[in-house]
Amino acid sequence: MGRDVTDMKQLEEQLRQAQKMEAIGTLAGGIAHDFNNILSSILGFTELSLDEVEKGSHLHDNLNEVFIAGKRARDLVRQILTFSRQSDGKTAPMDMGTVAREATALLRASTPTTVQMETEIPEKNLIIEGDATQIHQVIMNLCTNAAQAMEEAGGRLAVTLERVELGAKDDATGPTSGKYVLLTVSDTGCGMAPDVTERIFDPYFTTRETGKGSGMGLALVHGIVASHHGHMDVETSEGKGSVFRVYLPLLDQPEGVSELLKGNELPRGHEHILVVDDEPQIVNFQKQVLKRLGYRVKAETDSMAALAAFRSAPGTFDALITDMTMPRMTGEHLARELREIRPDIPVIPCTGYSDNISKETAMGMGINAFLMKPVDRTDLAKALRKILDG
């Protein structure tokens, strides 16, 4: 008597992989809040210090390196949260060139010296509607796969970005006609056989040894590209390397891009802002930023003390900026208490972990903007001005 258990074995393997993903998500959620609080202080005070140091000086260059490294750490946390499906994918007009330069700069440090990495990324604006963290992940995954295909013999890894316009397609498999940003990642590695190429986008399919890959990388890339209304194809043959092409719809003059591409001048104000966070360093950073922008600031590290201050003079405050996870009273509870006293008070909650506040939760609190930690001063200044002017 015989029984084919192939399907059952595949389901068991998929279950194990799903459990691994769940474990990553649990770990990411557990560390994200505390780690982002630490990064908030590192990035915040470094950015403030850069303003006070002479540009071009040795100290300015050193601080700038700290700031860049801090932003890379922030992006890594966001990638982990996105990968574990703990982060909401939010699209907005974004410059592909900026994301590609950040990703390739990060990759250079981890790419083996036997792999020669070349990039061709134009300075002109290549704007798409997308999630910067997810696009960053696409580039990282494609380049990592390419580098691993050359880890034994070495070779050349090339990343190019360009604007293309496609006419009517000859078949149903390619991208439709229109304007696109084309991301090309090519390598001179071992390439792939046709039977492998057919399955590279299948979840949990991998040709690597046990422990060297989950089989989720290209499947995740394919899913992200599809969610951005893009197209992806691969050209490869054994012994001749591989070329991955990603087409993402180009935005010619998208609404909001003019704001995105403006200079570094931050919007200013004069209103009275109540700032609450149980981390003294974060309160200190936000207080300094807002005061430099012209605002009057009442800062508290205790949510109960903040509530008492608001109760004593509710008409003197123009907005609340609050952490979500705090002892004694959470940011959500504090916001609700303040709105009981003054329903029109604008609120910006800040969180290091997106599960602490969803879009639905925010809407239920009467909030139309919230910030993910670590919060930089540009996001803080723009979000505050948006809710005050709105």
Residue 350 has pLDDT above 90, yes or no: no
Judgement on whether residues 227 and 288 belong to the same structural domain of the protein: no
If asked whether residues 315 and 354 sit together in one domain, one would say: yes
* Domain termination site, one of 258, 285, 314: 258
Q: Is residue 114 part of a domain?
A: yes
- Count of CA atoms in the C-beta half-sphere (13 A) of 197: 15
Q: Say if residue 189 is in the same domain as residue 115.
A: yes
pLDDT at 160 over 90: yes
Q: In what order do the strands lie in the sheet with 178-187?
A: 115-120, 155-166, 178-187, 242-249, 231-236
E-only strand ranges, the chain: 92-95, 115-120, 127-130, 155-166, 178-187, 231-236, 242-249, 272-276, 296-300, 319-323, 347-351, 371-372
Asked whether residue 116 falls in the same domain as residue 178, the answer is yes
Determine, yes or no, domain membership for 245.
yes
Per-residue pLDDT at 204 exceeds 60:
no
Q: Which residue has the higher pLDDT, 152 or 140?
A: 140
The reply to whether 29 falls in a domain is no
pLDDT (mean) for 201-229? 63
Looking at the predicted structure, is the pLDDT value of residue 123 above 60?
yes
Mean pLDDT over each residue of the chain, to the nearest integer: 79
- Percent of the chain's residues with pLDDT above 70: 76
Round to whole Å and give the CA distance between 4 and 13: 16
Q: Are 320 and 291 in contact (CB under 8 A)?
A: no
Of the three residues 210, 243, 258, the one that is the final residue of a domain is: 258
Contact call for residues 27 and 90 (beta carbons, < 8 A): no
For residue 69, what are the contacts with CB-CB under 8 A and spacing of at least 6?
none
Residues with Cβ < 8 Å from 366, sequence gap 6 or more? Answer: 339, 343, 347
Residue 212, both tokens:
């060297």
Question: For residue 84, is pLDDT > 60?
Answer: no
- CA 92 – CA 107 distance, rounded (Å): 24
Say yes or no: 220 and 283 in one domain.
no
pLDDT attached to residue 79:
61
Residues 235 and 271 in one domain: no
Strands 272-276 and 231-236: unpaired
Q: SS3 of 136, please?
A: helix
Report yes or no on 172 lying in a domain.
yes
Average pLDDT over residues 304-313: 93
Asked if residue 242 and residue 195 are part of one domain, the reply reads yes
Same domain, 202 and 311: no
CATH number for the domain harbouring residue 320: 3.40.50.2300
Question: Of 97, 251, 243, 104, whose CA–CA distance to 184 is shortest?
Answer: 243
Average pLDDT score over residue span 38-53:
87
Indicate the number of domains in the chain.
Answer: 2
Mean pLDDT of 309-332: 90
Residue 371 three-state SS: strand
Q: Are residues 189 and 299 in the same domain?
A: no
**For the segment 216-226, what is each residue's pLDDT rounded down to a tens digit?**
467 778 888 88
Q: What angle is formed at CA 229 by the lines to CA 223 and CA 235, rounded to 5 degrees?
A: 65
Inside any domain, residue 229: yes
Q: Decide: helix, strand or coil at residue 109.
A: helix
Residues 223, 267 within the same domain: no
Least confident of 92-106, 150-164, 215-229: 215-229
| Domain CATH number, residue 212 | 3.30.565.10
Enclosing domain of residue 331 = 259-389
Helix (H, G, I), strand (E, B) or coil at 327: coil
Q: How far apart are CA 301 and CA 304, in angstroms?
A: 9
Q: Do 268 and 211 fall into the same domain?
A: no
Beta bridge partners of 166: 178
Task: Choose from 73-82, 169-178, 229-238 the range with maximum mean pLDDT.
Answer: 229-238
Q: What phi, psi does 254 have (nearest 5°)?
A: -70, 150
Query: Which residue, of 195, 223, 258, is where some domain finishes?
Result: 258
In a domain, 24, yes or no: no
Alpha carbon 54 to chain centroid, angstroms: 30
Residue 3 lies in a domain: no
Sequence length of the chain is: 390
Per the domain annotation, does 16 fall within a domain? Answer: no
Question: Given a cut of 70, is residue 354 above it in pLDDT?
Answer: no
Do 353 and 315 belong together in one domain? yes
Rounded CA-CA distance 83/77 in Å is 10
Q: Residue 238 is inside which H or E element, if any?
A: none
User: Do 381 and 267 meet the contact criterion of CB atoms below 8 Å apart?
Assistant: yes
Q: In the structure encoding, which two tokens stand for residue 167, read together?
A: 């006419």
User: Environment class of residue 388 by beta-carbon count within 10 Å: exposed (0-12), middle (13-18) or buried (19+)?
Assistant: middle
Is 386 within 8 Å of 369 (Cβ atoms)?
yes
